[in-house]
A and B are shown apart, each in its own frame.
Chain A
Amino acid sequence: DGGITQSPKYLFRKEGQNVTLSCEQNLNHDAMYWYRQDPGQGLRLIYYSQIVNDFQKGDIAEGYSVSREKKESFPLTVTSAQKNPTAFYLCASNPGRKNQPQHFGDGTRLSIL
């Protein structure tokens, strides 16, 4: 079955630590995205990538970093510079062509200990 896999589902981080969230897709999609959701808010775009070895900042990129070395994988690192990292993180992908909906993984909930 094709889909988007995010791991882990729950993640705990100590103050000052970097953590990396995994996102893998087997849909052969060119474009991948990372969003953040906070309680009572919509999804906000952190980073996106249209093709391998290319990525762009979204609306709230500060304190985050990404890489896109393979088409299937788009890991997100939450660095210690992110002041309020506790949130629900969602990865999405789509073919990258016009008017194609984005499809989401099941998310990773990050909490600070």
Chain B
Amino acid sequence: DQQVKQNSPSLSVQEGRISILNCDYTNSMFDYFLWYKKYPAEGPTFLISISSIKDKNEDGRFTVFLNKSAKHLSLHIVPSQPGDSAVYFCAASDPLSNFGNEKLTFGTGTRLTIIP
């Protein structure tokens, strides 16, 4: 049973436009959400996170939105740049795990391609 889902395996966006990556979750107890960016043969790089007490968090070109009633979060990248081409993973933290909040459940990733 996949608790964190990224239903779009791939997304292509024109350079300079907005990229919107989506993520849905089923566990209403998740209280902290993160986005990671991953290049081939490298480890994921942390991008941005949001606590469940907020509905928006912004960091430069990256904004994460959280809709708790819909159990949905999204990552907006504006403007998109060629260096943004990578696989993006969303992850959620389970506060009921036996070591606090740091058990992360990952989605399967969305491959973003920025077209010059």
Of B45-53, B58-66, B67-75, B77-85, the one touching chain A: B45-53
- Shortest distance between the CB of B44 and any CB in chain A (Å): 5
The answer to whether the Cβ of A40 comes within 8 Å of any Cβ in the partner chain is yes
Q: Among residues 53 to 98 in chain A, which have CB atoms less than 8 Å away from a CB atom of chain B?
A: 56, 58, 90, 92, 94, 96, 98
The reply to whether A102 and B46 contact each other, CB–CB distance below 8 Å, is: yes
Chain A residue numbers with a CB within 8 Å of B49 are 99, 101
B residues apposed to A, CB below 8 Å: 4, 9, 32, 34, 36, 41-46, 49, 51, 89, 91, 93, 98-109
The reply to whether B42 and A107 contact each other, CB–CB distance below 8 Å, is: yes
- Shortest distance between the CB of B37 and any CB in chain A (Å): 11
A residues apposed to B, CB below 8 Å: 4, 6, 9, 31, 33, 40-45, 48, 50, 56, 58, 90, 92, 94, 96, 98-107, 109
Identify the 9 closest CB pairs spanning chains A and B, nearest first.
A104-B43, A42-B106, A101-B46, A43-B106, A106-B43, A42-B108, A104-B44, A99-B32, A105-B43
The reply to whether B99 and A50 contact each other, CB–CB distance below 8 Å, is: yes
Closest B-chain residue to A3, C-beta based? B43
Closest B-chain residue to A107, C-beta based? B43
The reply to whether A106 and B102 contact each other, CB–CB distance below 8 Å, is: no
Chain A residue numbers with a CB within 8 Å of B41 are 9, 106-107, 109
CA distance A33 to B103 in the complex (A): 9
When A90-B44, A103-B46 are in contact, do A56 and B98 touch as well, CB less than 8 Å?
yes
